[in-house]
Amino acid sequence: MSNRRVLGACPVCGSAMHVTGLHCPSCDTSLTGTFDRCKFCRLNEEQQWFVEVFITARGNIKEVERILGISYPTVRSRLDSVIEALGYVVQGPRDKDDAVVEPAERREVLAALDRGEISAEEAIRRLRGQGRTADN
């Protein structure tokens, strides 16, 4: 028995894969057809790992930051990515420190921060909808 994982996305075109067969090794029963996968099967490996860490940290973002060695904005960005991959819409600001920019722009800002292209102060300014500074 191999430990291969079911692919969530087609390695050729990126579309969602469908499960079309199931097999029981104990009694040699096989079923064919089209079967739904669970929502969590839609997540890529990085997202699955993030969810595992998030759950073991009991949702404590500070603990997720510590375990993964990433910043608070990066944790929030990855969490939003998981929420969207599960088929939910990431709602607007949840507290006074949350972004007031569109989700796509927010992800771009957080990615630039993660890559070290902008400072934390610049990321905060952009996430609060104050745009770029004069020297950017």
Q: Is residue 89 part of a domain?
A: yes
What's the pLDDT score for residue 92?
62
What is the domain count for the chain? Answer: 1
Q: What is the pLDDT of residues 52-96, one digit of tens each?
A: 999 999 999 999 999 999 999 999 999 999 998 888 888 765 544
Q: Is residue 33 part of a domain?
A: no
Domain residue limits at 49: 41-127
- Nearest 5°: the CA angle 117, 133, 91 is 75
How far is 91 from 106, CA to CA, in rounded Å?
Answer: 13
pLDDT surpassing 90 at residue 99: no
Q: What is the pLDDT of residues 5-57, one digit of tens each?
A: 777 778 888 887 788 888 999 999 999 988 877 888 888 889 999 999 999 99
Q: Is residue 54 part of a domain?
A: yes
Q: Is residue 5 part of a domain?
A: no
Residues shown for the chain: 136
What's the pLDDT score for residue 133?
45
